[in-house]
Amino acid sequence: MSEVILVFSTIAAIMALSFIGDMISRRILLPSVILLIITGILFGPILHLLDPTSLGVVVPYLIPLTIAFLGFDSGLKTEISEVMARSGRALVLSVLGFLLSTIVVGVFLHSVFGMRWAYAFLLSSAWGGVSTATVAAVCKHLQASEETCATLTVSSMVDDLLVFVCALTLLNYISLGGLTPYEISLELIGNISISFFLGVVIGILWLNILYYSRKGEFNYTFTLAAVLLVFSATEILGGTGGIAIFLFGLILGNSQPLARLFRMRADSYELSELKDSITKFHSELTFILSTFFFVFIGLLYVYTGLFEVLLGLFISVLLHATRLVAVRVASWRSDLSDDYPAIGLIVGKGATAAAVSALPLAANLPNAEMLSGIALNVILITNIISIVLPVVAARSSR
């Protein structure tokens, strides 16, 4: 019984600290990831008030669950019409920024530290996107134009998809290490095909089921069961649950245009109400899980020396340098160039990067603790730099 009480009290303390950290971050316009991770580090490795070892058994379950919830949340909030409306600039910024940062940082990790290519690109792809929360916080500080903030927000949503697909595919590649290149190619193609097929097909099917059961009281509970079912079924059949869940959420989040496309006999207003109710409930659960996750990984943080901190700082500099190049290209001959270089310095990592960076822990990969430690340093430093430098750059340009 004492172990149960210890686990429950630890979970309660982490959730309380998560709420307090998020509330403070909203008041001072800082990305919550900074304060939440620092809170975990403070109460764990520094003050030793909370012992994460009592919760170590939940790591293999917490990380996939976080991936599933974040993937579904990202899909729900990604509006295809908005992405298409800003597809030119936003997609160039997202794809070019992701590719540049993934390649440059991956080559650096492999060439300087001898890290296997797959491991190097797994980490660099996890850091290839930009957090929507960081974009929102910096835009408030900068008072940037509505066009700039909207483009950056759409770009960060596309980043989530790129990070999920590339990082999860690389993790699958690592797990297939004993096969020949041809066999690995076939496995990966099959994996991605299964993920896309199940995510899209079940998403369309579930959209119809939800609409016909829209008068029920527990639609979100019903949908949550579907989220877990899609994730589990995809993994069992050889796919990647995180990718399937993102597409599943994307289908439900874009129910109105898809209903018109497939000529569903559905009322547009009722579809909108259904989406809003599901999004509201899921946002609450995602907030609880993601904030808990940030504090939890802060508790797991192990300081292994100044070298890892300096490495995180150098990687952060590389990420900012590649971001500046991507923003320069994407903003060429557009109004976005008016806010350059300030917006080029926004490269803070958020929940998606943290969850994907923790995958080596869940998969028990070699040196997982060291990799997660470097990842935490990168996430903290990129967020701090993304808050400070854009404000300095904007003020100096006035």
Query: Pick from 207, 158, 196: which is nearest to 352 by CA?
Result: 158
Residues of the chain with pLDDT under 70: 1-4, 6-7, 25-26, 28-31, 51-60, 82-88, 140-146, 178-179, 214, 216-217, 266, 269, 302-304, 335-336, 339, 341-342, 390-398
Q: For the segment 62-107, what is each residue's pLDDT rounded down to a tens digit?
A: 778 888 888 888 788 777 776 666 556 778 888 888 999 999 999 9
Domain of 327: which CATH number?
Answer: 1.20.1530.20
Kindly report each contact of residues 18-24 with a partner whose C-beta sits within 8 Å and lies 24 or more positions away, as own/partner: 18/288, 18/291, 18/292, 18/294, 18/295, 19/291, 21/291, 21/294, 21/295, 22/287, 22/291
Residue 30 lies in a domain: no
Residue 46 lies in a domain: no
Supply the pLDDT for residue 318.
92
Residue 51 lies in a domain: no
Please count the structural domains in the chain.
1
Residue 185 lies in a domain: yes
DSSP assignment of 234-283 = HHHTTS-HHHHHHHHHHHHHTHHHHHHHTT----HHHHHHHHHHHHHHHH
Residue 31 lies in a domain: no
Supply the pLDDT for residue 1.
46
What is the span of the domain harbouring residue 117? Answer: 58-396
Query: Pick from 278, 280, 281, 200: which is nearest to 239 by CA?
Result: 200
Residue 43 lies in a domain: no
Record the pTM: 0.75
Q: For the segment 278-288, what is each residue's pLDDT rounded down to a tens digit?
A: 888 788 778 77
Supply the pLDDT for residue 301.
74
Q: Which residue has the tokens 């009322």?
A: 267
Q: Measured on CA atoms in the order 23, 24, 28, 30, is the torsion positive or negative?
A: negative
Residue 293 lies in a domain: yes
Residue 44 lies in a domain: no
